[in-house]
Amino acid sequence: MIYIHIPFCKQKCSYCNFHFSTSLNFKDDMVAAMKKEIVLRKNELQNKSLSSLYFGGGTPSILSADEIKSLIDEVLKHFSFEKDIEITLEANPDDLNKEFLKGLSDSPVNRLSIGTQSFFEADLKLMNRAHTANEAEDSIKRAQDFGFENLSIDLIYGSPTSNLEIWKENLNKTIALEVPHISSYALTVEPKTALENWISKGKVISPKEEEQNREFYYLSDFLKDHGFEHYEVSNFAKPGFYSRHNSSYWKYKEYLGIGPSAHSYNGSDVRSWNIANNQQYIKKLNAHLPAKEEEILSAEDQFNEMIMIGLRTIWGVDLENLKGKFNDRILEHFQREIKQKLEEEILIIENNHLKIPEKQWFMADGIASDLFMV
């Protein structure tokens, strides 16, 4: 699978610490540099037949439909697409006007991930989103009108401008809109963000973990009651609508990341990441040089990652795979660390897979980190 990072946004969300620029001065140069990187790194993926192509960001919908199509065409020059390939474009509601959607509907893009976040104005203002509550709803309906049935929306819970009743209304609206996939995250206070600054100055109250916990479990129960499957801590889908891109990532499959700050993984022990600087990225690619650094993952690193990712999913950690991959020292550590958690039923084993019971999923990252080798 291939991930393409589009490092531009109209404005900065208050909670975001991803790499992007609000200046579009180098947009044309960036698209050209990405095409050069695709060519330069075309031999890194062992599997030349792609099941997933994902445009993330940043805000990919800040590009024109023609620019998106040109990037897809460049990928097609060096890779083949499986017949049922999933091509996802992350999009903001305010970008999904009729002209843009018409252009996308004539492209190979067949899945949209819409950054809705909330259907309430107070939430959107706190997050400094570029769209309004009305646009949040209208953009989904408009995308459906243009034939996009494979839709995902992002929703954020636990905001200080929200509460359980507002959260219930957000979810009722989502069900009414018949969206088949939902990615939902607790509002987190990341370092060096506007939200952190506002909280430190007392302008905004900090999100409350107890309220986020309550909203998370309401979310899970509510969506399951409406036919969704809770297949990863933050992801819910109707049958047949799991995110192919994310599922491949959670199953440790190889992927190639194109664009500034994008990460790549060879499916074994090598991870690389592109420099998180737009102009330096463009300069490197114009000189036909890779814009990446890489590391060899130690056995301990691979173990920790397998535990962290696997325990966030319904699939869990394959114990047979674990046994065949790691040495006795790591396996003895693993058996020692899981013993008490199994007795307390914080961890369970089903069909030779180690899992966290769903009732404990809100604490999944903490439970997983207890098993790490440090």
Neighbours of 244 (CB within 10 A): 21
Instruction: Sort strands 2-6 and 256-258 into parallel, antiparallel or unpaired.
Output: parallel
Closest CA to 161 of 189, 114, 121, 134: 121
pLDDT at 1: 94
Determine the residue type at 313.
T
Number of Cβ within a 10 Å radius of residue 155: 24
Query: Would you say the C-alpha torsion 41, 45, 50, 51 has a positive or negative sign?
Result: negative
C-alpha distances in Å from residue 72, one per residue of 3, 87, 128, 160, 305: 11, 9, 31, 40, 30
> DSSP assignment of 63-80, as one string?
S-HHHHHHHHHHHHHH-E
Amino acid found at 88? T
Beta bridge partner(s), residue 263: 273
* Helix (H), strand (E) at residue 135: helix 133-145
Rounded Cα distance, 146 and 103, in Å: 10
- pLDDT tens series, the chain, 374 aa: 999 999 988 877 877 777 767 778 899 999 999 999 999 999 998 888 999 999 998 899 999 999 999 999 999 999 999 999 999 999 999 999 999 999 999 999 999 999 999 999 999 998 888 889 999 999 999 999 999 999 999 999 999 999 999 999 999 999 999 999 999 999 988 888 888 888 888 888 888 889 999 999 999 999 999 999 999 999 999 999 999 999 988 888 899 999 999 999 998 899 999 999 999 999 999 999 999 999 999 999 999 999 999 999 999 999 999 999 999 999 999 999 999 999 999 999 999 999 999 999 989 999 999 999 98
Cα 1 to Cα 60: distance, rounded to the nearest angstrom: 17
pTM of the entire predicted model: 0.93
Instruction: Look at residue 207 in the predicted model and tell me its pLDDT.
Output: 86
Alpha-carbon torsion (234, 237, 243, 244), positive or negative: positive
